């Protein structure tokens, strides 16, 4: 089985989409001649041409709106928004149009639109370029949100996104593009709404998504040094959310902490914690914990930025506070 980095896995998924379906096309800022701000579409403009790899003006509302219209007309648009921070400029098109058209038309209209975008901090890109809004979008009915943590999931989830009749926000963490992992040559898909147990354990369940899965894995290694076994759950998609796998794990470990990068206040992980609390209350040895980012704008200074993002030590500190571990 070959090892590839996440950027290559996503690029493979994009090539498959364009090769298999002549209705598919990519559009976004700098996706063509510049080959992508994060080089995911490197070589695409030369291979597929300007009709199928379209550079757009800096106008996110127009990009998403054009994608919605194209999807309604039977095309399979893949819109790249350079960062999820800029998707705020297209949020009306996402929330009030893409998410609702199938429902409001009683199924007469569909919006099979994929919005690829970069999320997360840690790259010293400062307060307006380092945010994590995938949880906001996951709170809107009608939208599906995928956020892979490794190359295998990135390719498998993207293939599943191509099958969707509803709009999908495909959030890619900026610091994971170079992360390497095994990806089989044989075709496979990762279904939406199916979480993965990335590490088995019996003493505590750590729930995470995106880059925080790796923070949870690091915390699990520290727990192991203490003689404790942590189970790490990667939810893979925020909507649909596979609550069953999480609850099954918590009923085994009796303890749970949800880890996410977004601000502590109002994080999507808080909703996961609430859901676990309701579903597994009688099996819990303490409250469900939540570790999120500090409630501050992302600092530009690297030391300060790192201090604002959850790490393994903060996960252990939370476990000590809640469970005396």
Is the pTM of the predicted complex or chain greater than 0.95? yes
Q: What is the mean pLDDT of residues 5-31?
A: 98
Q: What is the mean pLDDT of residues 187-201?
A: 98
Q: What is the mean pLDDT of residues 301-320?
A: 97
> Is the pLDDT reported for residue 283 higher than 90?
yes
pLDDT in tens, 105-138: 999 999 999 999 999 999 999 999 999 999 999 9
Q: What is the mean pLDDT of residues 244-273?
A: 97
Of 200, 210, 271, which Cα lies nearest the Cα of 236? 210
Q: What percent of the chain has pLDDT over 90?
A: 99
> Is the pLDDT reported for residue 1 higher than 90?
no
pLDDT, position 218: 98
DSSP category for residue 99: T
CA distance 108 to 141: 18
Q: Annotated active-site positions, please?
A: 60, 129
Please identify which residue in the block is written with the tokens 């975008």.
117
Cα 204 versus chain centre, distance:
23
Task: Name the region of 310 (left: φ>0; alpha: ψ -120 to 50; beta: rest).
Answer: beta
Q: What is the mean pLDDT of residues 304-318?
A: 97
Query: Is the CB of residue 231 less than 8 Å from the CB of residue 201?
Result: yes
> What's the count of helices (H) and strands (E) in the chain, helices before strands?
12, 14
In the three-class reduction of DSSP (H, G, I as helix; E, B as strand; rest coil), residue 187 is classed as coil
Provide the token pair at 68.
């919605």
């Amino acid at each position: 089985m070959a090892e590839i980095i996440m950027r290559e896995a996503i690029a493979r998924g994009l090539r498959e989409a364009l090769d298999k379906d002549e209705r598919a096309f990519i559009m976004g800022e700098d996706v063509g001649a510049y080959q992508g701000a994060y080089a995911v579409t490197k070589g695409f403009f030369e291979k597929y041409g300007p009709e199928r790899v379209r550079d757009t003006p800096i106008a996110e509302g127009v990009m998403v709106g054009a994608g919605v219209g194209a999807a309604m007309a039977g095309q399979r648009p893949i819109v790249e928004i350079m960062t999820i921070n800029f998707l705020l400029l297209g949020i009306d098109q996402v929330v009030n149009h893409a998410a609702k058209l199938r429902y409001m038309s009683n199924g007469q209209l569909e919006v099979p639109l994929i919005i690829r975008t970069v999320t997360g901090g840690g790259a010293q890109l400062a307060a307006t370029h380092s945010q994590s809004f995938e949880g906001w979008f996951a709170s809107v009915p009608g939208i599906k949100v995928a956020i892979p943590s490794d190359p295998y999931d990135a390719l498998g989830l993207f293939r599943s996104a191509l099958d969707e009749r509803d709009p999908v926000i495909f959030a890619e963490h900026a610091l994971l593009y170079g992360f390497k992992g095994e990806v089989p040559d044989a075709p496979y898909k990762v279904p939406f709404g199916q979480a993965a147990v990335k590490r088995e354990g019996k003493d505590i369940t750590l729930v995470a998504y995106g880059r925080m899965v790796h923070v949870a894995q690091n915390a699990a290694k520290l727990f192991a040094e203490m003689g404790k076994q942590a189970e790490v759950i990667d939810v893979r998609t925020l909507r649909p959310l596979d609550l069953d796998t999480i609850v099954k794990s918590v009923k085994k470990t009796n303890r749970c902490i949800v880890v996410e990068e977004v601000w502590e206040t109002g994080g999507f992980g808080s909703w996961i914690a609430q859901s676990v609390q309701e579903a597994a209350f009688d099996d819990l040895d303490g409250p469900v914990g939540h570790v999120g980012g500090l409630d501050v704008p992302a600092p530009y200074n690297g030391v300060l930025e790192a201090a604002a993002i959850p790490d393994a030590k903060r996960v252990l500190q939370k476990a000590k506070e809640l469970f005396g571990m």
